[in-house]
Amino acid sequence: MKKTNCRMCKSSNIQKFLDLGFSALADNFLTLKQLEESETFFPLTVNTCQNCGLCQLGYVVPPELMFNQDYPYDSSTTKTGRDHFTKMGIEICEKFELEQNSLIIDVGSNAGVLLDAFKSKKMRVLGIEPSSKLANIAIKKGIDSIIDFFSGKLIKKILNEYGKVSVITGTNVFAHIDDLDDFMKTADSLLVEDGLIVIEAPYLVNLLENLEYDTIYHEHLSYLSVKPMIKFCQKFDFEIFDIEEQSIHGGTLRYFIGRKNKRKITNNVSNYLELETKKEIYSRKRLENFANSVKHHRKILMELLHDLKKDGKKIVAISAPAKGNTLLNYCKIDSEILSYVTERNPLKIGTFTPGMHIPVYSDEKLLEDQPDYALILAWNFSDEIIKNNSNFQENGGKFIIPTPEPKIV
Ligand SMILES: [Zn+2]
């Protein structure tokens, strides 16, 4: 469905600045049998709201097509991810001195890594997760989870069965939600008076500065920044009272949101607003420059890969995150260039990448086969991937980190 107005301020004054063509759904890894069926490609464009500054996709794919039982993202796959969420849970408990047995809800709770941390601090926890496969992993670990999308229709059930909520967390989920008004109204109904919403989402400034255009895919409906977020929260009598920067996913902001006038607003909030002005992220010219840099990036990455192929080198990719599929689809990197992709997530091994149909094997294949080059698609975990595969490098293999500019290490 084409999006004709701004998700946050509802203005219809929105303008397209980036067009990544048509792309298959980034997490729809295909089975061998599915390769024989038709695959749907959706437009992948980004607009900016001239009124509040929000960047959002021009086309919204129905969430049921993306976040279903086959959804393969498991935030516990990487140690970096596990450590991040464990630390986050503990930090929130300590920073706000939460009382034991406070109820914490994690929206998009995945396999329950963040809630595990809250549980270790003696909190009551509830996950909301539409993917039954992932929710069941959490349930098996003893984490109550409702297999559904977070929406107003769950309010009664949650209040009746669990009571009022102290903290609602959403990591990499707020930007996935089309109806954000419903999210805020639902949170408002569930939260205790001094309750908190803690949101983590990749930061638009980092996306633009570091050319992280591959983080643009259909699951990510909004590309968040502080200015539109502040205005949006005000609509619901909430306010952002603190912001912290986290290094995960190439630069993420953690927004602390509470009801108006309940807490002192830290300088961090105004500092980020100043940064956004300085970086001119709301100027049309800056966004057009970004779009030009994206085109240039595709050109130099493809020249590098084609040159290596001309020299007879065997290239594969290591790690198959959703973002990798934006890169592969936009640059048209297919199985003629990459022989295969390796991955640790068992839900992806044995499948084919969406759109480009490159086979996915387990990481062990990299050492057995010892190709010449391995393109790191999950560049945000480059350090961990290189460390885990030091044997590949010792045997003469080289890694290619694609972003912000292609680099061989
Ligand atoms: Zn707007």
CATH of the domain spanning 79-279: 3.40.50.150
Distance 128 CA to ligand 1 centre (A): 28
φ/ψ of residue 108, rounded to 5: 70, 55
pLDDT at position 82 is 86
Which residues of the chain are in CATH 3.40.50.150 domains?
A: 79-279
What does the pLDDT read at residue 56?
98
- For ligand 1, the distance from its centroid to the CA atom of residue 234, given in whole angstroms, is 13
Residue 53 CA, ligand 1 centroid: distance in Å:
6
As residues whose CB is below 5 A from the ion ligand 1, the structure lists 6, 8-9, 11, 49, 51-52, 54
- pLDDT at residue 76 above 70? no
What pLDDT score does 68 carry?
A: 67
99 Cα–ligand 1 center, Å: 37
- How many A from CA of 54 to the centre of ligand 1? 5
Q: From ligand 1's centre to the CA of 167, what distance in Å?
A: 27
> Helix 79-95 and helix 113-120: axis angle, to 10°?
40
Residue 70 has pLDDT above 70, yes or no: no
pLDDT reported for residue 114: 95
CA of 55 to the centre of ligand 1 (A): 8
Band the pLDDT of 74: cuts 50, 70, 90: low
205 CA from centroid of ligand 1 (Å)? 17
Q: Is the peptide bond before 354 cis (omega within 30 degrees of 0)?
A: no
Task: With residue 126 as reference, give the H or E element that holds it.
Answer: strand 124-128
Alpha-helical regions (H) of 62-179: 63-66, 79-95, 113-120, 132-140, 155-161
Query: How much distance in Å is there from the Cα of 56 to the middle of ligand 1?
Result: 9
The arithmetic mean of pLDDT across residues 61-76, rounded, is 72
Q: pLDDT band at residue 63, thresholds of 50, 70 and 90?
A: confident
How many whole angstroms from 247 Cα to the centroid of ligand 1?
A: 27
Calculate how far, in angstroms, residue 5's C-alpha sits from the geometric centre of ligand 1.
8
Whether the predicted pLDDT of 73 surpasses 70: no
> What number is the average pLDDT over the span 330-337?
96
Query: Residue 69's CB: how many other CB atoms inside 10 A?
Result: 12
Helix, strand or coil for residue 7?
Answer: coil
Looking at the chain, the number of H-run helices and the number of E-run strands are 14, 17
Q: What is the mean pLDDT of residues 1-29?
A: 95
pLDDT in tens, 361-372: 999 999 999 999
pLDDT tens, position by position, 149-179: 999 999 999 999 999 999 999 998 999 999 9
Distance 226 CA to ligand 1 centre (A): 12
202-230 pLDDT, tens digit each: 999 999 999 999 999 999 999 999 999 99
Rounded-to-integer distance, Cα 175 and Cα 220, Å = 5
User: What is the C-alpha separation between 399 and 409, in angstroms, rounded?
Assistant: 5
Q: What's the pLDDT tens digit per position in 260-283?
A: 999 999 999 999 999 999 999 999
Q: How far is the CA of 235 from the centre of ligand 1 (A)?
A: 12
**Ligand 1 centre distance from Cα of residue 9 (Å):** 4
Distance 117 CA to ligand 1 centre (A): 35
Q: 61 C-alpha vs ligand 1 centroid, how far in Å?
A: 20
CA of 11 to the centre of ligand 1 (A): 5
Q: Report how far ligand 1's centroid is from the alpha carbon of 48 (Å).
A: 8
Please tell me the CATH superfamily of domain 285-408, with its number. NAD(P)-binding Rossmann-like Domain (3.40.50.720)
How many A from CA of 141 to the centre of ligand 1? 41
* % of the chain with per-residue pLDDT over 90: 88
Interval between CA 14 and ligand 1 midpoint (Å): 8
Which pLDDT does position 67 carry in this prediction?
73
Instruction: List Cα–Cα distances, 51 to 174, 180, 223, 282, in angstroms.
Output: 20, 17, 15, 10
Written as six digits, the tokens of 23 are 């792309």
DSSP-assigned beta bridge partners for residue 360: 341
CATH 3.40.50.720 positions along the chain are 285-408
- Does position 72 have pLDDT exceeding 90, yes or no? no
**225 Cα to the center of ligand 1, angstroms:** 12
CA of 6 relative to ligand 1 center, distance in Å: 5
Cα-to-centroid distance, 299 and ligand 1 (Å): 33
Give distance in angstroms: CA of 183 to centre of ligand 1.
Answer: 17
Q: 229 CA to middle of ligand 1, Å?
A: 10
